Amino acid sequence: MSRRIISTLSIVLVLGASLALVACGGGKSNKLEIFSWWTVGGEGEGLKALFDIYHKQYPNVQIINAAVAGGAGTNAKALLATRLTGGKPPDAFQLHAGLEVEKYDPEKYILPLDDFYKSEGLDKVLPQDLLSLLQYKGHYWGVPVDIHRANILWYNKKVFADAKLQPPTTWDEYFKVVKALKARKIIPLAFGSKDGYEAGHTFETVLISVLGPDAYKGLWTGATKWTDPKVADALNTLKKLLADVNSDHSALTWDGALGQYFITNKAGMMIMGDWVNGWFISQNFTDYGWECVPGPKVFDGLSDSFALPKGAPDNTNAMNWLKVCASQAGQGAFNPLKGSIPARTDVDPSLFNPYSQSAMKDWTSEPIVPSVVHGAAATEKWATVYKDILATFATSGDVAAAQKALDQTATDNLAK
């Protein structure tokens, strides 16, 4: 055989191998490392549903689930920042839509996804409010897989029925319910604060309730002052609210408090986002109801997305992961288990349980405000200080000191 024929044959074989590699997912090591903080109940099951779809399409790619436990990404974000700056990024990572992206210096460490949005037609299937939230410095940095609501008051239907109670829609009604539950030796509000963000989460929902949507949004732009008397009112409401939670809250996560008290009928309520809905589904628990946190009907929104870091080992595999996350099939499989609603507007509502169907309607009909604890309203640096202030307040109960600290950190961050 001539050298020319051998050379030509070698080229054909190399090209054939390369095409086969692309067909099965591509990448330098044919692995896909997905970094998230989804480890609990419906979160983990929803993530697995996405993995299953990916495996069917790219069966030769090994998925590495690099999930780090800790609600709201409290532990994951610090580790991720270290990996990005250290030059050892995962292939794709979970990112809250909104200003959270600033934490990771996106222009240096993350790939913009504008071309992906165009090629996948995402501008036609994502709501405008979400598209606006996903942009930072004129670019898209993450592909959304869901929409969550943070300000839900969950109640145990059996506990409420036994006490002949209705879910409260005002704070006066709420504290009357508290009094009635305490008389029956029932913990009014199940609460877990082990991860350190939960008091800040709860206060966020109280702020929205007391200030209303426009004034709440103004806190993060400077239009509303943190010295406003209504902020003090919200802190006093939170203080009163936290006086009637389980005494072991510092040892429990939110799901731990649900398992310990709520589904065992020892507590009547919990204030938490609708990932609780996914947790209930994973536990086959159905005896629960929901209301917006007392006050005006406002949708406290957040969205989980996936971003692609620069220098990731398997960019082709990661791009295919984004396609699965963005797809109608992917969001239809993930969100019913996660407890969230799809970011896309064309996913069949009949796939979802009654809570999620109600959230879909609320998303299109109620004022939408961005969550601060979950990355949408403020930078991660500001949100971290905010959470620390509220964690301290949960122990001290010092309204004046907390309000002063909140005002100071707003001044510090708005000045930049």
What pLDDT is recorded for position 28?
62
**pLDDT of 24 strictly over 80:** no
**Residue 18 pLDDT more than 50?**
no
Report whether 119 contacts 285 (CB < 8 A): no
pLDDT of the residue at 333: 98
Segment 364-403, tens digit of pLDDT: 999 999 999 999 999 999 999 999 999 999 999 999 999 9
Q: What is the pLDDT of residue 29?
A: 66
Query: What pLDDT shows up at residue 8?
Result: 35
Residue found by looking up tokens 């939230």 in the block: 133
CATH superfamily of 149-301+369-414: Periplasmic binding protein-like II (3.40.190.10)
pLDDT single digits (tens) 255-311: 999 999 999 999 999 999 999 999 999 999 999 999 999 999 999 999 999 999 999
Angle ∠(47,256,151) on CA atoms, nearest 5 = 70
> For position 14, what pLDDT does the model report?
33
Q: What is the pLDDT of residue 136?
A: 97
- 25-148+302-364: which CATH number, 3.40.50.300, 3.40.190.10, 3.40.50.720, 3.40.47.10? 3.40.190.10
Domain segments of the chain as ranges: 25-148+302-364, 149-301+369-414
The 10s digit of each residue's pLDDT in 205-248 is 999 999 999 999 999 999 999 999 999 999 999 999 999 999 99
Residue 247: per-residue pLDDT: 97
Chain segment 75-90, per-residue pLDDT in tens: 999 999 999 999 999 9
- Do 25-148+302-364 and 149-301+369-414 fold alike per CATH? yes
Amino acid 312: pLDDT = 92
Cα 215 from Cα 39, distance rounded (Å): 35
Rounded to an integer, the average pLDDT of 324-345 is 98
Mean predicted lDDT score pLDDT of the chain: 93
Say which range, 20-29, 92-101, 117-126, has the weakest mean pLDDT: 20-29
pLDDT at 27 over 60: no
> How much is the pLDDT for 263?
98
- The answer on pLDDT for 132 being more than 70 is yes
**High-pLDDT (> 90) share of the chain, %:** 92
pLDDT of residue 90: 98
